[in-house]
Structure 1
Amino acid sequence: MDRRQFLTLSPTRHKTAKAPFGRTDSGIAPFTGAFDTAQAVHLLKRALFGASPADLSWAKGLGSMDQVVDALLTPLATMPSPPVNNYGDDATGIAPGATWVNAPAYVRMEDDPLGQNRQRSYKAWWTGVMLNQTRSIHEKMVLFWHNHFVTETQTVTDLRYVYKYNTTLRQHALGNFKALTKAITKDPAMLIYLNGNLNGKTAADENYARELHELFTIGKGPDSHYTEDDVRASARVLTGYRVDENTITSHFDSTQHDFTNKQFSDFYGAKTVTGKTGPAGETELDDLLNIIFSQPECAKFIVRKLYRFFIYYKIDDAVEQNVIAPLADIFRTNNYEILPVLSALFKSEHFYDPLNMSCLIKSPIDFCIGLCREFSVVFPPASDYMNAYEAWDYIRDFAGKMLQNIGDPPLVAGWAPYYQEPMFHEMWINTDTLPKRNMLSDYLVQGQGAPHGLKIDVLAFADQLSDPGNPVTLVKDSLDLLYRVDVSDSLRSFMKNSILLSGQSPNSDYYWTDAWQAYKGNPGDAATRTVVESRLKAMYKFIMDLSEYQLS
């Protein structure tokens, strides 16, 4: 999918372009333009998974862009209820419907059926949490950090640790990045995933130390000049961390710690971590992070990742100078607090630049979860855990088949569309994944093929729009919410005349108006209901099958 093709759909888009092909010289100065439907939907779809009519009404009702951003950036105060046993037999005695996250350790068999059952339970649970997100960016940031501080359930294997890793991301998702890095460094799942629990003074394991620099803090950019000696020194700092499967926690074993001094390169100011003995050896981690976080490239690296996740994958010289550098300054000035960076980004003129308002291809999670949320697809309640988990897993499985299997990114670097040049997010769309996207939307809009009656209630969706009895307004409101690019007048006319009016004269808008009013006057009548429902299903199927629906 070529984004430039979308930019040719509407001549009005080119009038606001500051440079050809989507490049712009806008920066992080506060946005002062109108905050109308287009801007509100743009903000909602970048900060949340999808945007429903109720979300749009909420945003516009707050009155100002600043208020909406502040509300969306409010961290969640409580953790979601943990995953439960939805699989039946549990070797550790966890009853059906009870949570397994604090279950006793058990002896794993070769095929480990309990681990596989908990893996499915965990992934279904996380999908359910995303589907039931409130109006906060918190849930999307958990996914962002999962793609940044990657672990894989297939490698960790003990899902109790994996769940704790998820809670670590949640606790720090909108907090302090340095604190998150420290917490992840000692997280049991990460210690297992990158061999930190095997790192000892007689044989330092460099696996986590290398990723700490290369993927988690400094990156591999042209100004990232850490050395192999820095990796080796970091590995020695990190010796001694171990995991206890009975308490499901990590701890520091000073007898396994290398207490000699660790020298770092000129890139890190030639600083030294002074070796410490006994329990004090654990404080060397703080010394290491102080050295890493004093390097300006750390802030720039994280800001670039946020930019590619929330704005666009291409970072040219203008973006680096006008957006990345000043946001990195904000990040460092605020001691690596995440919220000030997000606030400045989402309130900036650059974020609302028309060329940044339709340039991302939805990730599979964004597509699947967003589709369900914006159409308010009804799932079984969490109390009906057997059916709820099965329904959640149905959506999770579709996203996995579209190349984004939560819990198991393919590599420690995360999902390739977030970093792989030159295609980046265009990798989400291919001849295999696009039909699967259309298949899911077709199943849901037709109410067929999905478990537990999952479907899009097209009547309820249309009824939330401003004037569903007017076919022109109905088409406009639907496209304003579901598409991020404008479409031609001929396409709008096709939707009205050929679908809603069933080929009637283009001047026969009353045909749809009468049909809608007949349905509203007697919603229990099957005949009048079928007339409008069948046409709405055809229209929304048509909308979701076009390439424009893939853009966020």
Structure 2
Amino acid sequence: MGLATDREKTAHLLRRFGLGASVEELDFYSEGGYARAVDRLLGESAEEAPLPDAARFVGANGRLNPPDAVAWWVVRLLGTRRVLREKLTVFWHNHFATSVVKVGAAPLMVAQIETLRRLALGPFEDLLLALSRDPAMVVWLDNAQNVKGKPNENFAREVMELFTIGIGHYNEEDVREAARAFTGWSLRRIPGGPLGVSAEFLYRRAAHDDGEKTVLGTKGDLGGEDVIRLLCQRPETSRRLVRKFFAWFVRPNPDDATVERFAKAYRESGLNTLALVRAVVLSPEFLSPQAERAVVKSPVDFVIPTLRQLGVGERLAQSLPPEGQLPRRLLLPALAAGQAMRAMGMALLAPPDVSGWEGGPAWISSATMAERIRWASTLFGSGGGGRPGLRYPAESLLEAEATPSAVAARLFEVFDAPADPETLSLATQAAATKKGSGTNAMAEAASQVLFASPAFQYA
């Protein structure tokens, strides 16, 4: 254990703040040392791939259905070269957990994800304000029903409890008064358009309560923007965000002193998320042995990197026609990935509730481990779990004879697996049992052992 070289540090960086890395991507980012790798990643120096917009995923009924919207996002996850921005989009999707199951209209979810992506690395206050006015969020937390004389407290409660300061730092009177401040924040649905339907934020002036309010000790004719500003100024918000950030990207359970140090820097930057990322990735805490392979992989971190490391994402982006509806056969990798992540417990666009996914060790159960192992059959075999097999040509990974040891060793390299002689030996033995059945059968067997190994569950 220990990140001794710049290449090892860069691989660690891309496991956490990227979407994994192929050998070629690691070569690109690590050239010139770790500090240069950080600059490349945070500066988004890679030219973005030509990725299709959501309108090209519209179904035969002329509407964008939820599975189509998931496929649209998975194609971006597979093909993007702006991996930091996309990884932060996933993080914020969990933080502002909103589900298409209640929202109903997939185009509203696409618009929300695009907002998260656009503002992912900027000031948190800008992101929070945009999400507070986001039509999907308005539906999700019932703010369209929040009107003068009959306030609905759902959004006001969650913006404090989950999005900012957290339980213990506000009282019920704060919730009631904040709800009054958000009265009139509604939406207007727009039928038609390229996605079948859309919506926009609508401030209903007649539904807003103009009376005096007191929120967190501040008194006045407060509106929603005022409440958001107050919440972002509270030190509890920066601490809560940093603690959650550490759990996702560094290691679980940071001590209070560490949280306060990064929270102070975050506040001094104006809650600029890019500044927080830079402070974290250059810190001793991030590069310490305690942080290496210390975060349990989410289904996104398990599935998406394996496809990208095999080059599937880049080829998918290049194979899509420049215009028109997208043939389903070209989207099979994205569809399979979306189905697999759902089976592993992470249905994109449909988090379980407003608190998002629990994450960490909760990703692992007997059922989800079976799905992680089955992913090997999706990659190299005939599939399983109702998913078609992609039958990736494993022989293309090899430069010499496809022996069991060569197949296993190459897969460990491609998938950025921890150096574990015992697991490699078991994977080689598994491949040997399939030697007479072809390279793909050997790759499937070896990958099953790797995907089942405890160490591979950690990024």
Describe the shift of the 1:402–1:475 C-alpha distance in structure 2 as closer, same or farther (beyond 3 A).
Answer: closer
Q: Is the 1:53–1:374 contact (alpha carbons within 8 Å) kept by the matching residues of 2?
A: yes
Match of 2:259 in 1: 324
- String of CA shifts for 1:308-338, please: whole Å, max 9, x gaps: 11122223xxx321x3111111111011111
**Residue in structure 2 matching 1:240, options 163, 179, 184:** 184
**Equivalent pairs, count:** 441
Describe the shift of the 1:273–1:374 C-alpha distance in structure 2 as closer, same or farther (beyond 3 A).
Answer: farther
Cα distance in 2 between the residues matched to 1:34 and 1:471? 30
**What's the CA shift for 1:487?**
1.7
Pairs within 5 Å for 1:121-520: 121-220=68-167, 224-246=168-190, 248-264=199-215, 268=216, 270-275=217-222, 284-315=223-254, 319-321=255-257, 323-377=258-312, 379=316, 381-383=319-321, 384-417=326-359, 425-446=360-381, 448=383, 454-463=390-399, 478-479=411-412, 482=415, 485-488=418-421, 490-492=422-424, 498=429
Describe the shift of the 1:532–1:297 C-alpha distance in structure 2 as closer, same or farther (beyond 3 A).
Answer: same
For the aligned residue pairs, the C-alpha RMSD in angstroms reads 3.0
Amino acid at match of 1:60: S
Amino acid at match of 1:350: E
Cα distance in 2 between the residues matched to 1:324 and 1:468? 51
**What's the CA shift for 1:40?**
2.0
TM-score normalised to structure 2 length: 0.87
Q: Is the 1:86–1:389 contact (alpha carbons within 8 Å) kept by the matching residues of 2?
A: no
Q: Is the 1:85–1:121 contact (alpha carbons within 8 Å) kept by the matching residues of 2?
A: no
Q: Is the 1:357–1:484 contact (alpha carbons within 8 Å) kept by the matching residues of 2?
A: no
Q: Is the 1:42–1:484 contact (alpha carbons within 8 Å) kept by the matching residues of 2?
A: no
Match of 1:110 in 2: none
The secondary structure found in structure 2 opposite 1:49 is: coil
**What's the CA shift for 1:304?**
0.9
Q: Is the 1:41–1:56 contact (alpha carbons within 8 Å) kept by the matching residues of 2?
A: yes
**Residue in structure 2 matching 1:544, options 437, 441, 451:** 451
Cα distance in 1 between the residues matched to 2:148 and 2:230? 21
Match of 2:35 in 1: 66
> Does residue 83 of structure 1 match 2:54?
yes
Amino acid at match of 1:347: L
**What's the CA shift for 1:437?**
1.1
**What's the CA shift for 1:288?**
1.5
Cα distance in 2 between the residues matched to 1:400 and 1:170? 21
Larger Rg: 1
Consecutive unaligned residues of structure 1, counting only runs of 5 or more, are 1-12, 17-32, 95-99, 101-116, 276-283, 418-424, 504-511, 513-526
Amino acid at match of 1:147: N
Q: Is the 1:121–1:389 contact (alpha carbons within 8 Å) kept by the matching residues of 2?
A: no
Cα distance in 2 between the residues matched to 1:130 and 1:38? 23
**What's the CA shift for 1:470?**
11
Describe the shift of the 1:166–1:536 C-alpha distance in structure 2 as closer, same or farther (beyond 3 A).
Answer: closer
The secondary structure found in structure 2 opposite 1:263 is: strand
Pairs within 5 Å for 1:37-48: 37-48=7-18
Cα distance in 2 between the residues matched to 1:485 and 1:88? 42
Describe the shift of the 1:412–1:88 C-alpha distance in structure 2 as closer, same or farther (beyond 3 A).
Answer: closer
The secondary structure found in structure 1 opposite 2:162 is: helix
The secondary structure found in structure 2 opposite 1:244 is: strand
Amino acid at match of 1:226: Y
Counting aligned pairs with the same residue, the percent is 25
**What's the CA shift for 1:263?**
0.9
Q: Is the 2:78–2:307 contact (alpha carbons within 8 Å) kept by the matching residues of 1?
A: yes
Describe the shift of the 1:468–1:184 C-alpha distance in structure 2 as closer, same or farther (beyond 3 A).
Answer: farther
Amino acid at match of 2:24: A
Amino acid at match of 1:54: E
Q: Is the 1:273–1:288 contact (alpha carbons within 8 Å) kept by the matching residues of 2?
A: no
Q: Is the 2:380–2:390 contact (alpha carbons within 8 Å) kept by the matching residues of 1?
A: no
Describe the shift of the 1:545–1:468 C-alpha distance in structure 2 as closer, same or farther (beyond 3 A).
Answer: farther
Describe the shift of the 1:534–1:412 C-alpha distance in structure 2 as closer, same or farther (beyond 3 A).
Answer: closer
- String of CA shifts for 1:277-322, please: whole Å, max 9, x gaps: xxxxxxx23322222122111111111111111122223xxx321x
Consecutive unaligned residues of structure 2, counting only runs of 5 or more, are 191-197
Cα distance in 1 between the residues matched to 2:157 and 2:18? 33
The secondary structure found in structure 2 opposite 1:355 is: coil
**What's the CA shift for 1:198?**
1.1
Describe the shift of the 1:206–1:478 C-alpha distance in structure 2 as closer, same or farther (beyond 3 A).
Answer: same
Describe the shift of the 1:493–1:251 C-alpha distance in structure 2 as closer, same or farther (beyond 3 A).
Answer: closer
**What's the CA shift for 1:261?**
1.1
Match of 1:3 in 2: none
The secondary structure found in structure 1 opposite 2:76 is: helix
Which deviates more, 541-550 or 180-189? 541-550
Describe the shift of the 1:148–1:226 C-alpha distance in structure 2 as closer, same or farther (beyond 3 A).
Answer: same
Match of 2:195 in 1: none
Amino acid at match of 2:93: H
Describe the shift of the 1:36–1:538 C-alpha distance in structure 2 as closer, same or farther (beyond 3 A).
Answer: farther
Describe the shift of the 1:493–1:263 C-alpha distance in structure 2 as closer, same or farther (beyond 3 A).
Answer: closer
Amino acid at match of 2:137: M
**What's the CA shift for 1:49?**
2.0
Match of 2:194 in 1: none
Q: Is the 2:238–2:263 contact (alpha carbons within 8 Å) kept by the matching residues of 1?
A: yes
The secondary structure found in structure 1 opposite 2:290 is: helix
